Amino acid sequence: MITKYKPKSSFARSGGQAKAGKAVRPYRAKSEIKREEPIAGQVKRPAEIKAGAKDSLNKLRVMTLGGLEEVGRNMTLIEYNKEIIVIDMGLQFPEEDMPGIDYIIPNISYLEGKEDWIKGVVITHGHMDHIGGIPHIMGKIGNPPMFMGRLTAGLVRKRAEEFNKCPKLNIAEVDETSRLQLGKNFKIEFLRVNHSIPDCFAIIIHTPVGTLIHTGDFKIDYSPVNDKPADLNRIAQIGGEGILMLLADSTDSTHPGYQVSESYIGDEIGRLFDKIQGRIIIGTFASQLSRVQKMFDLAAKYGRRIYLQGRTMNDNVEIAHQIGYLRFNPKILIDSDNELKRVPDNKLIILGTGAQGESNAFLMRVVNGEHRSIHLKEGDTVIFSSSIIPGNERAIQNLMDMIVRQGAKVINYEMMDVHAGGHAKQEDLKLMMRLLKPQYFMPIEGNHFMLRAHADLAEQVGIPKTNVFVADNGQVVEFTSLQGKIVGRLTQEKVPSEYVMVDGLGVGDVSNIVLRDRRVMAEDGMIVIIATIDSRTGEPIGNPDIISRGFVYMKENKELIEKTRMKVKKIVKDHDPRTPADDDYIKNKIRNDIGQFLFSQTKRRPMVLPVVIKV
């Protein structure tokens, strides 16, 4: 259950788990708790926690199932004494060498059989790399209670509606004043932080061993759009109380300086609007709701109307508007294609998805001429109001080429400040570490080189190198309280963290073998060989049929196809006529021999699929 009360100057501890409809015994402020003298290099801990520890050998374990080797698939487990809390359940978009895969979700094998250990799921914010795996995972872990901000709850509920197998989620909405008691060992606080979407929280986890802080995605923005700035005073106050370990966002740890404010980006785009006379087409992330709010503000200021494009964009705007996170006059929206035709070009903004060059998104359908009502023309200006996600460079370059060829003008973040990232850069990251002063530090949410860069920053602000844990997915970080000392270490133990790939309705049924076969077919194609044989004698009947897909064009390679056909016929004939032919033997022989033959002739390795028909 969740208990809310007026915020105090510092976190105070509960006497027990809050129950609905019953008064909660007031927390006693930490300042009132007698403290021990801290051991050199160790986190200060309240004496009453030490006294209440049943076993000095109890271990606090931290396991990150995704987000330590990639940007996405974020999911972290905090475990103590057979109790677990889960932070985030995200998805990761497929890499270029994963043909046909929709997305990837965390591997939850470690939680199998531990459903009753899970005391709650806490979600930091509403981006897909933090909520995308929820419909696939919640039913498999016993559907524990979930806690998240109001906007995040709306987005999670909307996504869950799209999945028939997702159970009805037990969601409680929280804010920065909320306090949770999850199980016997976890007391949770929420710290509001800024990002590119409202309702983002860092999670403060008080355990019998010490306090952990998980930042989620964050940046330091002193003038956010439709959101409150992070409370730096409170962050410093929490740091003064003693933090065992900080787990912090590393996505922009390789970029020096400070992150640009969202308000500044809105002002820059506003200066563009002064000069543009034709249609303005803006591509951005549907989840970039702070940016979307700025577009509505600018539309009202310059007398333009907005036509939303993309299902996710429409859904997110509707949810955010209903709960008050987007503020605009509904009359500013264009409802139909017929109304669109009546709006002059200099009074129109088209706001949609596809700035990453996604094949089915709004912008790509426009440039391909597949959109039912919007086509590019002279005088259009297309603004890419998002940075490039690594791996999408070529798709975005091709998209820009096609836009310019059709007479429109392109503006992106490299030409002007039309995008502000949602992640803290190096100086912001160092500020967070200086304010919180953790004893141990664990960079999360990024590729390995990003984690290493963040680890270097931690050393620069004075955190000992031995206390900085750069882990791989699934690697266990362990803390032990022994005779008043807290010792942390990065163990060699690993829990399962392999990819679980989602392909259509299939979850986890695409193995590495299937993916390898897809890559082979994508690179060298396939050839199907159909041999018909007499079931009694094993003799071939007629010539084998050959079908080539993605390997060679058969009409222009008649000699190669004919040689292949004769070689197959010889393979089928080469057996003892006194015994029936063995189907498996013939298939394997065709697969191996024809594969080697085709490689010798073409230096390509197509997938060979033999089919044997007995008549």
Q: What is the 3-state secondary structure (H, E, C) of 256-315?
A: CCCCCCHHHHHHHHHHHHHHCCCCEEEECCCCCHHHHHHHHHHHHHCCCEEEEECHHHHH
Q: What are the tokens at 224?
A: 């956010």
Per-residue pLDDT at 164 exceeds 70 = yes
pLDDT at position 201 is 93
Q: What are the tokens at 55?
A: 């076993």
pLDDT at position 122 is 97
176 or 393, which is more confident: 176
pLDDT at position 53 is 36
pLDDT at position 66 is 92
Quote the CA–CA distance of 359 and 494 in Å, as a whole number. 37
**Rounded average pLDDT over 318-329:** 87
Q: Which of 255, 423, 454, 575 is catalytic?
A: 423
Classify burial at 41, counting beta carbons within 10 Å of its beta carbon; exposed 0-12, middle 13-18, buried 19 or more: exposed
pLDDT in tens, 269-286: 777 787 888 888 888 888
Highest mean pLDDT: which of 441-450, 474-483, 505-514?
441-450
Highest mean pLDDT: which of 41-55, 418-432, 497-511?
418-432
Task: Give the closest residue to 110 by CA, choosing from 74, 141, 72, 70.
Answer: 141
Per-residue pLDDT at 587 exceeds 50 = yes
Domains and CATH numbers, the chain: 2-256+424-494 (3.60.15.10), 262-412 (3.40.50.10710), 511-614 (3.10.20.580)
pLDDT at position 60 is 94
> Helices (DSSP H) in 448-487: which residue ranges?
448-460
303 or 43, which is more confident: 303
**Rounded average pLDDT over 346-375:** 81
Calculate the average pLDDT of the chain.
Answer: 81
CA dihedral 215, 219, 221, 225 (to 10 degrees): -90
Quote the CA–CA distance of 288 and 195 in Å, as a whole number. 9
**Rounded average pLDDT over 357-361:** 71
> Lowest-pLDDT range, 231-235, 270-274, 463-467?
270-274
Confidence of residue 96 (pLDDT cuts 50, 70, 90): low
Confidence of residue 35 (pLDDT cuts 50, 70, 90): very low
**Rounded average pLDDT over 368-395:** 78
Task: Give the closest residue to 149 by CA, choosing from 181, 207, 98, 195.
Answer: 195
Q: What are the tokens at 207?
A: 């355990």
Quote the CA–CA distance of 220 and 377 in Å, as a whole number. 40
Q: What are the tokens at 418?
A: 């039309």
Strand-pair category, 200-206 with 186-193? antiparallel
pLDDT in tens, 124-144: 999 989 999 999 999 999 999
Other CB atoms within a 10 A radius of the CB of residue 231 amount to 15
Buried b (16+ CB within 10 A) or exposed e, 444-482: bbbbeebbbbbbebbeeeebeeebbbbbebbbbbbbebe
Other CB atoms within a 10 A radius of the CB of residue 163 amount to 14
Q: Which of 88, 129, 249, 524 is catalytic?
A: 249
Per-residue pLDDT at 34 exceeds 60 = no
pLDDT at position 445 is 92
Cβ-proximal residues to 407 (8 Å cutoff; 6+ apart), any chain? 376, 377, 378, 379, 380
Q: What percent of the chain has pLDDT over 90?
A: 32
Q: What are the tokens at 126?
A: 């509403």
Task: Report in angstroms the alpha-carbon separations of 155 from 149, 151, 455, 520.
Answer: 10, 6, 33, 38
Confidence of residue 585 (pLDDT cuts 50, 70, 90): confident
Contact present, 187 and 279 (Cβ < 8 Å): no
pTM above 0.85, yes or no: no
pLDDT at position 248 is 94
pLDDT at position 397 is 82
For the question of residue 249 being annotated catalytic, the response is yes
pLDDT at position 581 is 61
43 or 88, which is more confident: 88
Per-residue pLDDT at 419 exceeds 50 = no
For the question of residue 55 being annotated catalytic, the response is no
Per-residue pLDDT at 266 exceeds 80 = no
Count of CA atoms in the C-beta half-sphere (13 A) of 339: 12
Highest mean pLDDT: which of 352-356, 474-478, 563-567?
474-478
User: What DSSP letter does each residue of 399-431 carry, written as one string?
Assistant: HHHHHHHTT-EEEETTTS-----SS--HHHHHH
What values do phi and psi take at 294, rounded to 5? -65, -35
Count of CA atoms in the C-beta half-sphere (13 A) of 105: 21
Per-residue pLDDT at 370 exceeds 70 = yes
CA angle, corner 210, sides to 207 and 216, nearest 5?
A: 75
pLDDT at position 245 is 96
**Adjacent-strand bridge partners of 188:** 180, 205
**Rounded average pLDDT over 484-503:** 88
Contact present, 163 and 189 (Cβ < 8 Å): no
pLDDT at position 30 is 37
pLDDT at position 283 is 84
Q: Hey, is 512 helix, strand or coil?
A: helix
pLDDT at position 180 is 94
> Helices (DSSP H) in 35-149: which residue ranges?
47-52, 128-131, 134-137
Per-residue pLDDT at 471 exceeds 60 = yes
Per-residue pLDDT at 207 exceeds 90 = yes
**Rounded average pLDDT over 201-220:** 93
Strand-pair category, 526-533 with 607-614? parallel
pLDDT at position 173 is 94
Q: What percent of the chain has pLDDT over 70?
A: 81
